[in-house]
Copies of this chain bind each other. A is one copy, B any other.
Amino acid sequence: MPSVEEFVESAGLYFERLGLSRTAGRVIGLLLVDPDDSADAPGLCERLGVAKSSMSVALGRLERSGLVERFRPPRGRRDRYRLTDDVFGRAFRAKMAEFAAFARLAEQGLAVVGDDATSRARLERMRDMYAFMGREFPGLLDRWDRENRTTGDGPASAGGVRDEFGEQGVPGVAR
């Protein structure tokens, strides 16, 4: 019989594999199942048993990566945090930057490798494959947006592919 706590810990593990810290992953897990659509830092520290300094860096990273957004209610005295509307869309789109990065890595290889036919063919194949995925993956996302439009909010986050994901790009979200 699973509990909310167990789910939060699972989420921590899952998102840690995506390159986030454990704490950041647990925050996302909590925001996913919490009835309130937002939480504040002291509350998160309390519920997750984490020092506020750690929470500060975790939330800072989550915000910079675009997974969580920070806001302050009109006359409020503390920030609140909620999941971005298109959290997972962003996660997937972050993958796309990876595709491009690996295509560039292949290019770098082509620039240094000699004229050996086999090596060149291998690197060209690598480059082309990642380029292909980088080209085609957005279409998949668009199709999902199209087929699952819930409200009239248009294609969720069609713009603003965030190239930075955390400070050094998220390793692999779609993974």
Interface SS of chain A: helix
Chain B residues, CB < 8 A from A33: 109, 112-113, 119, 123
CA distance A175 to B109 in the complex (A): 19
A123-146 vs B: 1/0 string, CB under 8 Å?
101101110110011001001100
Name the contact of A35 in the complex, choosing from B7, B102, B118 (C-beta under 8 A).
B118
Question: Could you show 21 A-B contacts with beta carbons less than 8 Å apart?
Answer: A4-B113, A7-B108, A11-B109, A17-B171, A17-B172, A18-B171, A19-B172, A32-B122, A33-B112, A33-B113, A33-B123, A34-B119, A35-B116, A37-B118, A98-B172, A121-B150, A129-B144, A133-B140, A133-B174, A140-B140, A171-B172
Residues of A whose CB lies within 8 Å of any CB of B are 2-4, 6-7, 10-11, 14, 17-19, 29, 32-35, 37, 83, 87-89, 92, 94-95, 98-99, 101-102, 105, 108-109, 111-114, 116, 118-119, 121-123, 125-126, 128-130, 132-133, 136-137, 140, 143-144, 148, 150, 168-175
